[in-house]
Amino acid sequence: MSKTVLITGATSGFGKASVHRFANSGWRVIATGRRAERLQELVNELGADKVHPAAFDICDPAAMDNALAKLPAPFKNVDLLINNAGLALGTAPAQESDLDQWNTMIDTNVRALITLTHKLLPGLIKRKGAIINISSVAASYPYPGGNVYGGTKAFVVQFSLGLRSDLHGTGVRVTSVEPGMAETEFTLVRTKGNQEASDKLYKGANPMTGEDIADTLLWIASLPAHMNINRIELMPVNQSFSPFQVYRVGN
Ligand code: NDP
Ligand code: 8X3
């Protein structure tokens, strides 16, 4: 019998590619995001029996409740929650950052993620389901301008590991997926629509793609029920590590 996955942030990037991968592998998919027309395109491409579009702002708990209450019968029982919706805003150092942007990242990457998880946990436990949370390499490796974004993603890692502890014995699997550079709309959003900045960042780097991450998510979800990937970190070959920066007095 086919299973149901709820994928947040399905209008673009990792989420959109995952809707295709899961639907084409026999899953029923609840696809969420604010851009309703993009969700409808997924339904048109993949079929209304495979994809249910749920357009809402994930930061609005009432809208989330409404969308969950309106799930049609075949999509009601979620077996897998992929908490993917998220964003980075700005690259300024902390001392020059915009507090509203910080709060939006916390509301989206943290508050909305825990809210949806909390709402779906009873059903996931009943069905011995799974949760995959999308974190980032920014959770483990700080970089200038990563401040609150990295903080939210570190929360996602630790929350995932905490869930693993709490769900001990329930059969529910929890995974933190921590990707590095992948070309999606991520940088366009981060730079408020600066296509040139986005193109420049990815040019020549051969970054990962939404499909690369979607393949990883499908692999994790398809493992035997007795196996749990706790954390997985992925990078394009052309991305690696730098030395610490050292500020020298007198420079
Ligand atoms: P995209 O910008 O391409 O996709 C982000 C998705 O999140 C969109 O579908 C967007 O939908 C959704 N989203 C954002 N805010 C809201 C909101 N308030 N309500 C509902 N949906 C929302 O980026 P990616 O695919 O790259 O990002 C997916 C996840 O992966 C994010 O959590 C990101 O932090 C993480 N990540 C990305 C990396 C990268 O290099 N690309 C690397 C590591 C992690 P809509 O705008 O329609 O609402
Ligand atoms: C996205 C990867 O390195 O831009 O989470 O923060 S990075």
Read off the pLDDT of residues 31-46 as tens digits, 9 standing for 90 and up: 999 999 999 999 999 9
Are 183 and 208 in contact by the 8 Å Cβ rule? The answer is yes
Percentage of the chain lying above the pLDDT 90 cut: 99
- Minimal CA–CA distance to 85: which of 46, 66, 57? 57
pLDDT tens digits, 128-147: 999 999 999 999 999 999 99
User: Which atom of ligand 2 is nearest the CA belonging to 136?
Assistant: 5
Chain centroid offset of residue 20 CA: 15
For the chain, give the mean pLDDT. 98
Q: Where are the domains of the chain?
A: 4-234
According to the model, what pLDDT value does residue 181 have? 98
| Residues in contact with ligand 2 (CB, 6 Å cut-off) | 136-138, 146, 180-181
According to the model, what pLDDT value does residue 251 have? 66
According to the model, what pLDDT value does residue 1 have? 73
CA 212/CA 239 separation, integer angstroms? 15
CA 105/CA 178 separation, integer angstroms? 17
Nearest CA to ligand 2 atom 5: 136
Q: How far does residue 100's CA lie from ligand 2's centre (Å)?
A: 20
pLDDT tens digits, 169-187: 999 999 999 999 999 999 9
Catalytic residues: 149
How many CB atoms neighbour CB 170 within 10 A?
13
Second CATH level (architecture) for the domain 4-234: 3-Layer(aba) Sandwich (3.40)
Amino acid at 146: G
pLDDT for residue 213 is more than 90: yes
Residue 77 DSSP code: S
The ligand that comes nearest to the alpha carbon of residue 148 is: 2
Average pLDDT over residues 37-63: 98
pLDDT tens digits, 79-113: 999 999 999 999 999 999 999 999 999 999 999 99
The ligand that comes nearest to the alpha carbon of residue 143 is: 2
137-157 b/e with 16+ CB inside 10 Å = b?
bbbeeeeebbbbbbbbbbbbb
Residue to mutate, 11, 176, 187, ligand 1, most ligand atoms under 8 Å from C-beta: 11
pLDDT for residue 201 is more than 80: yes
Average pLDDT over residues 188-204: 98
Residue 115 DSSP code: H
CA 103/CA 73 separation, integer angstroms? 36
Q: How far does residue 161's CA lie from ligand 2's centre (Å)?
A: 20
Average pLDDT over residues 156-172: 98
Q: How far does residue 235's CA lie from ligand 2's centre (Å)?
A: 10
Q: How far does residue 85's CA lie from ligand 1's centre (Å)?
A: 4
